[in-house]
Amino acid sequence: MRTSEVGAAPRARPKPPSRPAPPRRRPPKRANPSARLVAGRLILVALLVVTGLKLLTVQVVQAGELRAEGDKQRVTKVPLPAERGSIVDRNGTPMAFSVRAKALTANPAQISKKQGPNADTRKTQIAFGIAELTGADASRVYAALNTERPYAILVPQVEPSAARAVAERFPEIAQEDRESRQYPGGPLAANVLGVASWSMDQRKLHGIVGLEAAQEQLLAGTDGFRVVDTAEGSNTVIPGSERAEKPSIPGSNLQLTLDSDVQYTVQQQLAAYVKAHGAKDGSAVVLDAKTGEVRALANSTTFDPRDLAAATASELGNPAVTTPFEPGSVNKIVTMAAALESGVETPQSVLSVPDSIKVADRVVHDAWNHPTQRFTLTGVLARSSNVGTLMTAQKVGEDRFSDMLAKLGLGQRTGVGLPGESGGRVPPRDTWSGSTFGNLPIGQGLSMTVLQLAGMYQAVANDGLRVPPRIVEATVGPDGARAPEPRPEPVRVVSPQTAQQLRQMLVAVTQDGRGVQRGTGPDAAVDGYQVAGKTGTAQQINPACACYSMSDYWITFAGMFPAQDPRYVVAIMLDAPTHGQNASALFHEIASTLARRDRIPVSTEPRPMVPLVVP
């Protein structure tokens, strides 16, 4: 052990190392209370400015747009469809009119969702129930239900009472207001009336063909509307919320010159005659001899507007005014009228008529073989001699013949008031060649409609004054005011004396003499009356060779009765009958019915017999 020496001084202890002193922190500066207040105020002002600008934008700039968007959610403009006008005949008998109806609709997808595994059973029950209550086809109703669409039309139109019965039994079935077009005569004058059907786009009836389409603006009227509030998310009208209303204006009624009874008779007789004679088609027109008003306009091919789905495009047409044909010998009155009016010939003039005649580069024959014979001009017409007619036409001259065609209305529309009317075709005068004048006088090389044919003979029946035919007699407005259709300006074709001479010549066509004294149309004669008329036969074009057919013909007849003071003019065309190529017997049927119906007094005078061929 180590000890310290005695007397030695004590040692000093070493000092511990010193630690550096921590840095001194400055106390934080206190914020200025007045500066903080200014900043807050600036932020508040900025927010107020932004809010004000937004409010200004909403209330001023976007006000109209936002208001419109809001109105869409609660305001509904409910259309008020105008009631369609009726079509009546000259006696006021309804031929087309409208009634209120309902459409039955459903949401097949919703029915499936609600019924689940029982959906098919429920849909079957609905289909058969609707068929029972409305007479609809159950299979069609089921087919409409058997989809997953949100909307399906089950029955387009039913009576409101039947719709109510369906709704009571089947709450799933909804109803929509409809307007049902009624055609009480079915096919009666269907080619004239046309048809109107419900348009889903327009939510109203719309004319498709015929007068229903041509007179759409007059018949349809003007729709109105009602502004109402509806519950949000639905079309349910809030009671008492009506804001404004513009009433609809019903369409005007259309009164025709047709006589329903005459139309029915002619239509039935024509269809039976066409069928019996194996024709492809046929048309007939009956005019009032004095006024030119159409009393009947019939086609053998027609349709039932109550079953539009079953109609073909050809059945919807109206050939009597839209489809021209070559008329044949009925056109020979053009030559005769020009010859008598110009004084070139008289009914008693005698012509030595050979069996054939050469015109330019072609030879024209009569329809029967005969030696040169002495025909009166009446005999040329009554026997329908092509050669005698061309001999007379050469005396008349091309210019006078052309003028007579125009006066009789050929090559121009009649303006009858029916859609799709054709004016036929007459070759322009400056295009005629030598052979053209060998065709036109005998009714080949030009075309006309049955209506134009009737108009030609109306001029003869009306003492030489042609009144263009019309089928609209008047319109009757919603207020009941009747506005007669403006009458067409008559055209003087020939003098009354010439027209009377022509009628007597045409009476000879129907005389039943022996041999060469027999006219070509005695089957048209009606006991107790003098009938004036003309037969016609024209070759049709064979498309295979672009030449005239030797087997297919247009068969025509046009005439008037009683011949002394005609009441009616009748024109008929048969398209390629396979047997019995004569339309005069159909004229007889139509004229006989009209005479009985109107109780036209019979004549006590015997039918005149005039010489057609003289020694």
pLDDT tens digits along 525-563: 999 999 999 999 999 988 888 888 888 999 999 999 999
Tokens 């019924």, located at residue? 115
Over residues 517-529, the mean pLDDT reads 95
Supply φ then ψ for residue 382, to 5 degrees: -65, -35
Kindly tell me if the per-residue pLDDT of 564 is higher than 50: yes
What pLDDT sits at residue 73? 52
Residue 209 lies in a domain: yes
Higher pLDDT, 558 or 34: 558
Over 50: is that where the pLDDT of 193 sits?
yes
pLDDT tens across 136-174, in order? 999 999 999 998 888 888 998 888 999 999 989 999 898
* CA separation for the pair 41, 487 (Å, rounded): 89
With tokens 């004590």, the residue in question is: 10
**pLDDT confidence band for 225 (50 / 70 / 90):** confident
The residue out of 204, 223, 256 marking a domain boundary is 256
Which carries the bigger pLDDT value, residue 226 or residue 435? Answer: 435
Residues 188, 200: Cα–Cα separation, whole Å: 27
> Would residue 443 count as lying in a domain?
yes
563 vs 500: CA distance, rounded Å: 9
On whether residue 63 sits in a domain, the answer given is no
* CATH number of the domain that residue 146 is part of: 3.90.1310.10
**Residue 233: is its pLDDT beyond 60?**
no
pLDDT of amino acid 607: 83
337 lies in the same domain as 354? yes
Taking the CA atoms of 37, 39, 40 and 45 in sequence, report the sign of the dihedral they define.
positive
Claim to verify: residue 232 and residue 158 sit in the same structural domain: yes
d(CA 262, CA 251): 27
What is the chain's Cα-based Rg?
Answer: 45
Q: Which of 256, 284, 309 is the last residue of a domain?
A: 256
Q: Looking at the structure, tell me whether residues 409 and 485 fall in a common domain.
A: yes
Under the banding of pLDDT at 50, 70 and 90, the label for residue 3 is very low
Same-domain status, 267 and 238: no
- Write down the pLDDT at residue 290: 97
The answer to whether the CB of 105 falls within 8 A of the CB of 175 is yes
Residues 154 and 125 occupy one common structural domain: yes
Cα–Cα distance measured from residue 495 to residue 465, given in angstroms and rounded to the nearest whole number:
8
Based on the fold, state whether residues 150 and 279 are members of the same structural domain: no
Whether the link from the prior residue into 27 is cis, omega within 30° of 0, is: no
Per the structure, the complete domain to which residue 188 belongs is given by: 78-256
Rounded to an integer, the average pLDDT of 421-440 is 95
Integer CA distances (angstroms), 377 to 25, 437, 461, in order: 147, 19, 19
pLDDT value, residue 261? 97
Task: Give the CA count within 13 Å in the CB-facing half-sphere of 228.
Answer: 17
Give residue 1's pLDDT. 43
Mean pLDDT of 322-351: 97
pLDDT of 15: 54
User: Does 31 map to a domain?
Assistant: no
Q: Residue 40 has what pLDDT?
A: 72
The residue behind tokens 């968007």 is 69
**Residue 297: inside a domain, yes or no?**
yes
Q: Does the pLDDT of residue 9 top 50, yes or no? A: no
pLDDT on residue 7: 43
Structure tokens at 328: 């044949």
Name the E strands within 348-469: 350-353, 356-359, 362-365, 373-376, 465-466
Q: Give CA–CA dist 573/544, Å, rounded.
A: 24
Residue linked to tokens 């719709």: 163
Q: To the nearest whole number, what is the mean pLDDT of the chain?
A: 89
Pairing relation of β-strands 204-209 and 294-299? unpaired
Task: Express the helix, strand and coil content of the chain in percent, nearest 5 each.
Answer: 35, 25, 40
Q: Which residues are catalytic?
A: 329
∠ CA 558-542-274 to the nearest 5 degrees? Answer: 40
Q: How many CA atoms lie within 13 Å of 213's alpha carbon, on the beta-carbon side?
A: 14
Q: Are residues 123 and 197 in the same domain?
A: yes
CATH code of residue 264: 3.40.710.10
Q: What's the CA gap between 474 and 477, in Å, rounded?
A: 10
Assign 66 a pLDDT band (cuts: 50, 70, 90): low
Domain end point (choices 226, 256, 286): 256
Per-residue pLDDT band for 230 (boundaries 50, 70, 90) equals low
Could you tell me if 202 and 244 lie in one domain?
yes
Same domain, 235 and 280: no
Residue 340 CB neighbour total at 10 angstroms? 25
Phi first, then psi, for residue 142 (nearest 5°) are: -65, -40
Query: Does residue 529 fall inside a structural domain?
Result: yes
Among 1-5, 359-363, 558-562, the range scoring the smallest mean pLDDT is 1-5
In a domain, 73, yes or no: no
The answer to whether residue 51 sits within a structural domain is no
272 and 190 co-located in one domain: no
Q: Token pair of 45, please?
A: 């002002």
Q: Parallel, antiparallel, or unpaired for β 253-256 and 362-365?
A: unpaired
Q: Where are the beta strands (DSSP E) in 386-441?
A: none
Question: What three-state secondary structure class fits 288?
Answer: strand
Go through 579-614 and write b for each residue having 16 or more CB atoms within 10 A of its CB, e for each that does not. Answer: eeebbbbbbbbbbbbbbeeeebeeeeeebeebbbbe
Structural domain tally of the chain? 2
Looking at the structure, do residues 581 and 444 belong to the same domain, yes or no? yes
Among 88-92, 93-97, 203-207, 489-493, name the one with the lowest average pLDDT.
203-207
pLDDT of residue 581: 81
State the pairing for strand pair 373-376/362-365: unpaired
Residue 21 pLDDT greater than 70, yes or no = no
pTM of the prediction? Answer: 0.82
Same domain, 146 and 175: yes
Instruction: Provide CB contacts within 8 A for 451, sequence distance 6+.
Output: 285, 294, 297, 320, 321, 414, 416, 421, 469, 571
CA atoms within 13 A on the CB side of 177: 11
Rounded to an integer, the average pLDDT of 226-251 is: 72
d(CA 305, CA 477): 25
- Asked whether residue 50 carries a pLDDT value surpassing 90, the answer given is no
How far apart are alpha carbons 336 and 347 in whole angstroms? 9
Q: Where is average pLDDT lowest: 214-223, 226-235, 383-392, 515-524?
A: 226-235
